[in-house]
Structure 1
Amino acid sequence: MRIGDLAAQAGVSSRALRYYEEQGLLTSRRTPSGQRTYADAAVERVRLIQRFFAAGLKSRTIGQILPCVDTGHGSAEAMALLTSERDRITAAIADLAAARDALDRVIDHAQHPSEEHCPGLRDPAWSEYVPAAVL
């Protein structure tokens, strides 16, 4: 099938397919006129690649995992890589949760100002005028 057909069936852009090829995730054959053609099985491969991307994996990592998919045998290295990626995502989630919590505190202080958090409430902007000569 041609690149436009694969893109339509897999629900991705032709540009994405070219990128997958550049990264070694997908292969095509060329016609004598230079057009890309793909096997029917490419639809499922592209959908799998999309699931890997949706899981937060990078193209380099996907390239390391696909040989296990192709052979049907997972390796200890592949499992370690997937576990490492899960740990990376878990840490990113924790960082985002901490940032959200800090922002929630800022929002709360803005909505409920107190002397503790708002210097303007401790030292009013107005004060009685005392001429310097009196001091």
Structure 2
Amino acid sequence: MGFKLPLRPAKGIMVTFESNKLLNTSVVSSKIGLVQNPNLRAGGTVEFVGYDKSIKEETVKFIVEEASKLLPKVKELKIVEKWAGLRPYVDDGLPIIGALPNFSNFLIATGHFKNGFLLSPITGKIISDMIEFGKSIEELSPKRFFKN
């Protein structure tokens, strides 16, 4: 399409522990989060390593250590799965939502980083308002990266 958006992949590692109903709610610290789903999942790491989805044991160890600070029983649990995912990251910290330059009928919504699911309802509303009413939010527009 003739231009490149300033997105880059941010790798995050998740570790799933075999467990049953240890938590009734999510538990979050500044370094990690835990959620019961139905096993216990822990994650929250961020690495900028391109599209490399390999998993380093030192990262898994970090997740286990931080998770056990929140829930000491984690040390006794068996790890049943480890996986890496890539999230779309934008350096200014804002998602990119809006029409692409020179393509008013082509809308994009990306760059939500760790908050994709959390922001999906409002992102849908923003896109819907753009289609129905022509309303956009300039601070989120892709045009912010293509100033003349």
**Bucket of the pairwise TM-score, normalised by the shorter protein:** under 0.3
More helix by share: 1
Per the normalisation by structure 1, the TM-score is 0.25
Which one has a bigger Cα radius of gyration?
1
Greater relative contact order structure (CA < 8 Å, 6+ sep): 2
More strand by share: 2
